[in-house]
Amino acid sequence: MDAITGAVHYHKLQVWEPGMESEEEEEDEEIAEPLVLSLRRLQNTPRNKVGGLPGAWARLLAGLLLLAVSSSLALRQLQSRNSPKGTVGSVAPPASRHSHHPGVYHHSAIISPAATCSQLGQELLIAGGNVVDAGVGAALCLAVVHPHATGLGATFWGLFYNSSSGNSTALTAGPTQILAPGLGLPTALPALNLLHAHFGHLPWPHLLAKPAMLAEKGFEVDAPLARSLAVQGTKGLCPLLCHTDGTPLGLGARVTNPNLAAVLRSAALASSPDFAGDALLNLLVRDLGLELPSARPMPSLEPALQLLLPQGVLFSTPAPSAGPELLQLLESTLHSRTSSSASCSPFLQTAGGPVSSALATVDSNGSMLLLISSINSSFGSGHLSPSTGVLLSNLEASSAPSAWACPLILRGNLDDTEADMLGLVASGFPRGAEAMTCTLLNHLATPQIQQHPQHQAQQRPTESPGICSQGALLQAEVHAEHAHVSSVPSGCCPFQGY
């Protein structure tokens, strides 16, 4: 049964009772017989022989019919009770009446750097979650399986467009704070919990269940993590990410992090965003021999920055992200009338920016969430907290903007309630603002009817290890009442949807 199918309704079946013959014989003979046949009537009346069979055969036939009907109803009820609606597990998306190009879905979709986390996002969507539930759940999953790029020690920025209200909201990280020299104050749990508390639908513990399970029972090292381990080495990362002889784990090796699982389960019990990271912070300062800092993480939700264009309105995150720089660059480029469909390859092929992790979720109604996080360097500070299994970032407190954070959403014609939406978020590019500016200008210059079939055909829902070592630009769209997701390079990030 499809995961979104409603409850089965049963109709009361008519059963023979004494005295029914005389009443029914007075009714018009064209009225249909009850679904459950009367065995007594078959036995006692000559006209109830079926095909000339004697009463015993008629009774047998009626009994078989009754058994078939009751078995069918019982099976339908069992399937309804076992429906995955409202739960998170290994659920299959409902079957579609027709197919689309890869990356195009009827309802909603998610794209992230890890196949496991994209699958988790899909499961949360099918379970009745919205794009915020799917995005936050996937971000927590990435904190477990991609410790080289993100984690509970990371700094998060986000951009959320709510199609119901028409409002766009920025998740801001707040000023960078440090626990000790070279060790940033972790803000991931308070930030993600704050976003979910305002816009999520599923219960907060629901989102942490599978990430905690992955940390407890183990996950496989994927290609991006294996490459980072091969380059970085294992200094400070043992025993979590190395063999007993000290060599780094390779592709397909299994990793368990029970201490991180315990932290996630503690965070699931937090009564408010202010307390979501307290258990982690207490353990961290004990490991480091520090006192609890007087300052706490200060993520916030603010109205997104806006830039009006003839084609609609652009949204991005405020300072100290690079959102203001991005909008200024777009505005100056458009006003200079120098925009063209130039190749964006020079921006997209240049790596070397701060290590970061990005994901995008979108539904066919136009709601969209873009999330990006960073621990600055590969594996951040390289300091693995033994009590928590968390790697802290080495982001330093400064007034410099977070150049790696500049998510962008384009809302089409404001007078059109079904206008197209476009979301862009880049990770790993030192020139992310330029890359997204070029991509957006090409999008605006290319007619949609030509653009979509071309880029859809290039997407594949699997990771291509050879092209994921550089940065990635993720694209989420709403077009023709469908949700679209893709990446540059094509196939770099796995996607799921339904």
In a domain, 297, yes or no: yes
Shared domain for 62 and 136, answered yes or no, is no
Shared domain for 150 and 34, answered yes or no, is no
Shared domain for 72 and 153, answered yes or no, is no
Domain enclosing residue 48, as ranges: 20-81
pLDDT of residue 82: 44
In a domain, 92, yes or no: no
248 DSSP 8-state letter: B
pLDDT of residue 475: 94
In a domain, 251, yes or no: no
Shared domain for 279 and 135, answered yes or no, is yes
Gap between the Cα atoms of 143 and 206, Å rounded? 16
- Interval 106-122: pLDDT, tens: 999 999 999 999 999 99
Q: Which long-range contacts (CB under 8 A, 24 or more apart) does 399-403 make?
A: 399/320, 400/320, 401/319, 401/320, 401/321, 401/322, 401/324, 401/325, 402/155, 402/157, 402/173, 402/320, 402/321, 402/322, 402/374, 403/322, 403/325, 403/353, 403/354, 403/430, 403/432, 403/433
Shared domain for 309 and 188, answered yes or no, is yes
- Interval 365-380: pLDDT, tens: 999 999 999 999 999 9
Shared domain for 61 and 208, answered yes or no, is no
Q: What percent of the chain has pLDDT over 90?
A: 49
The most confident of 23-32, 92-101, 459-468, by mean pLDDT? 92-101
Shared domain for 55 and 148, answered yes or no, is no
Domain count, the chain: 2
Shared domain for 396 and 274, answered yes or no, is yes
- Interval 436-491: pLDDT, tens: 888 888 888 875 544 444 343 333 333 444 455 568 899 999 988 899 999 988 88
Shared domain for 168 and 31, answered yes or no, is no
Shared domain for 320 and 383, answered yes or no, is yes
In a domain, 240, yes or no: no
In a domain, 4, yes or no: no
Residue that finishes a domain, picked among 66, 81, 96: 81
